[in-house]
Amino acid sequence: MNILYDERVDGALPSVDKAALLQALRQRLPDLDLLHQTEDLKPYECDGLSAYRTTPMLVALPRHIEQVQELLRICHERRVPVVARGAGTGLSGGALPLEQGVLLVMARFNQILHIDPAARTARVQPGVRNLAISQAAAPFGLYYAPDPSSQIACSIGGNVAENAGGVHCLKYGLTVHNLLKVEILSVEGERLTLGSDALDAPGFDLLALFTGSEGLLGIITEVTVKLLPKPQLAKVLLAAFDSVEKAGRAVADIIAAGIIPGGLEMMDNLALRAAEDFIHAGYPVDAEAILLCELDGVEADVHDDCDRVRAVLERAGATEVRQARDEAERVRFWAGRKNAFPAVGRLSPDYYCMDGTIPRRALPGVLKAIAALAAEYQLRVANVFHAGDGNMHPLILFDANQPGELDRAEALGGRILELCVAVGGSITGEHGVGREKINQMCAQFNSDELTLFHAVKAAFDPGGLLNPGKNIPTLHRCAEFGAMHVHAGQLPFPELERF
């Protein structure tokens, strides 16, 4: 496993004269805070995917848009790569810095510029925390729907870059569905506006194109998001099952019944036990899997939907169906789910969080196949995921201090992602590709599709200076990976044949 990122793998960027660049930045931007000493750079060597680490050449901490513009102009003139970073909570290595590049940290752009309760919008800077938007909108009876588990820390700029989701994305959509407008800077420092304050804008939908582009197309400086009225009522049902396959089938049954929950989450026994020990949410620890199903809306509809979902769950084989008795218990149920990642972290020295998406109908078979793969690689896997939209987050437990375990964890992760492709799914649902999944992009897309992606990148960034080596693999890399011929439905997974 190549843990330390080498930007030469996917590009031919020239070496950078650090001293000359530092001098130019200080001359033209004397007020810009720059970090260049090794001890100051170390905290920025990775994002949430700590298995990949690189010490950046320089870290820039601007406070004003004009500083960002001038820095981009200088780097463009000198052909210096730039990687943008927000809170650093990403889990795919998307904000991994370069040894021969500038890490542009946008965390100081953390102001909520305007809340418009009449239009139900919020205009914010990219460093604003996800949760802070809902907190600012709460006095108006509004909130921001996308709620990734890291919402207490993750920033909205990173949410846009990765197209983040969360436990309520089944009903309310991903980040892309909750945006109106994004202000960006091009690689040359030019200001651009994508989208508009209206529901639609003429021309190509560049806002959707930019969302999820992982810092490859421009630098986000401002975001206008949609706000929603808080639901009149929200109720949560907890269903326990004696097998993960039954729980998986119950997910499809709920959607087939014409019910779209506000959230529909699944945890297997390993994950729910860890969460219960950590949060004391009241989970049934003897269950092989649990489902959390939240119904929200007007009171009469919620009560009716709760009865309908309970009947579906019981028909699906639930051994217990329990409704949260009050708001405090509802919050505890969700706290257990949202803290599942750190809870599982207490079970093992290290874990590797995957992010793939599959059709709901494939859930039972894929869960069984993941168990078979885990046995093959002799590693434990805890399954936690957004069951309603098939976005899986298998957590592979390993010990990096044990020779070979890190390599096995990465290999198992790659197989799980390719399994997702094999059943007609995707290698990512909300974490992005970054560096982590760049090889599996070769399994997801063919050469013509990758060529088109490179053309889009070149239209925004002809020199390839923005976050190089991420997201889109070169065709040469895919040839070396040996997966160019592999597309959905063609991957060999004998584990699936039995299910």
In this prediction, residues 77-83 reach a mean pLDDT of 97
Q: Are 316 and 250 in contact (CB under 8 A)?
A: yes
Position 342 in a domain: no
Same domain flag for 177 and 123: yes
Banded pLDDT at 481 (limits 50, 70, 90): confident
Q: Average pLDDT for residues 56-76, to the nearest whole number?
A: 98
Do 129 and 193 lie in a common domain?
A: yes
Q: Looking at the domain assignment, is residue 421 inside a domain?
A: yes
Q: Are residues 489 and 389 in the same domain?
A: yes
Helix (H) or strand (E) holding 113: strand 112-116
Q: Could you tell me if 135 and 240 lie in one domain?
A: no
Q: Which of 383, 471, 396, 468 is nearest to 427 (CA)?
A: 471
CATH of the domain at 462: 3.30.70.2740
Q: What count of other Cβ atoms lies within 10 Å of the Cβ of residue 272?
A: 30
Mean pLDDT computed over 401-408: 95
pLDDT at 493: 61
User: Does the pLDDT of residue 309 top 60, yes or no?
Assistant: yes
**1 has pLDDT over 50:** no
pLDDT of amino acid 216:
98
Is residue 1 in a domain? Answer: no
Structural domain span for residue 277: 233-337
CA distance 88 to 95: 7
Identify whether 475 is part of a domain. Answer: yes
How remote is the C-alpha of 52 from its chain's centroid? 17
Average pLDDT over residues 246-272: 95
Domain co-membership, 287 together with 224: no
What pLDDT, on a 0 to 100 scale, did the predictor assign at position 258?
Answer: 95
Alpha-carbon distance 187 to 166, whole Å?
30
Based on the domain organization, do 18 and 90 belong to the same domain? yes
**What is the per-residue burial (b if ≥16 Cβ within 10 Å, else e) of 159-182?**
bbbbbbbbbbbbbbbbbbebbbbb
* pLDDT tens per residue, range 92-127: 999 999 999 999 999 999 999 999 999 999 999 999
Closest CA to 441 of 462, 457, 463: 457
Which CATH number goes with the domain that contains 166?
Answer: 3.30.465.10
Are 315 and 370 within one domain? no
Average pLDDT score over residue span 426-441 = 96
Residue 327 lies in a domain: yes
Residue 301, pLDDT above cutoff 60: yes
Number of residues that make up the chain: 499
* pLDDT score, position 262: 95
What is the pLDDT at residue 260? Answer: 95
The yes-or-no verdict on residue 489 having pLDDT over 50 is: no
- DSSP structure class, residue 155: B
pLDDT digits (tens, 9 = 90+) for 207-242: 999 999 999 999 999 999 999 999 999 999 999 999
Specify whether the CB–CB gap between 378 and 255 falls below 8 A. no
pLDDT at 490 over 80: no
Structural domain contains residue 364: yes
Cα 279 to Cα 10, 338, 344, 395, 481, distances in angstroms:
43, 10, 12, 18, 42
Same structural domain, 478 and 414: yes
Tell me which amino acid residue 243 is.
S
Average pLDDT, integer, range 380-399: 94
* pLDDT range class, residue 482, cuts 50, 70, 90: confident
Q: With a cut of 70, say whether residue 268 has pLDDT above it.
A: yes
Give the bridge partners for 385, in sequence order: 266, 392
- Rounded to whole angstroms, how far apart are CA atoms 325 and 479? 56
- Per cent of the chain over pLDDT 90 is 90
Q: Are residues 355 and 333 in the same domain?
A: no
What CATH code is carried by the domain that includes residue 49? 3.30.43.10
Backbone angles phi, psi at 47, to 5 degrees: -105, -150
Q: Where are the alpha helices (DSSP H) in 317-461?
A: 327-338, 340-344, 363-377, 405-422, 441-444, 447-460
pLDDT at 201: 83
Q: How far apart are CA 137 and CA 228, in angstroms?
A: 9
Q: What pLDDT is stored for residue 172 in this prediction?
A: 96
Mean pLDDT computed over every residue of the chain? 93
pLDDT of 388 > 80? The answer is yes
> Residues 241, 217: one domain?
no
User: pTM to 2 decimals?
Assistant: 0.92
Q: Please tell me the total count of domains within the chain.
A: 4
Domain with residue 250: its CATH number is: 3.30.70.2190
225 and 161 both lie in a single domain? yes
d(CA 467, CA 81): 7
Domain assignment present for residue 118? The answer is yes
For residues 287 and 241, is the Cβ–Cβ distance under 8 A?
A: yes
Mean pLDDT of 5-25: 74
Average of pLDDT values for 141-160? 96
Note whether residue 343 is domain-resident.
no
Q: Which residue has the higher pLDDT, 363 or 241?
A: 241
| Boundary residue ending a domain (50, 72, 105) | 105
Which pLDDT belongs to residue 480? Answer: 85
Greater confidence, 490 or 207?
207
Task: Say what the pLDDT of residue 494 is.
Answer: 58
Domain termination site, one of 210, 229, 248: 229
Yes or no: say if 154 and 129 are a contact pair by the CB < 8 Å rule: yes
Whether residue 487 has pLDDT greater than 50: no
Encode pLDDT of 270-296 as tens digits.
Answer: 999 999 999 999 999 999 999 999 999
- Among the candidates 194, 209, 229, a domain finishes at 229
With a cut of 50, say whether residue 7 has pLDDT above it: no
Interior angle at CA 92, CA 88 and CA 96, nearest 5: 55
Q: Does residue 164 contact residue 158 with C-beta atoms inside 8 Å?
A: yes
Residues 142, 211 share a domain:
yes
Give the pLDDT mean for 338-365. 93
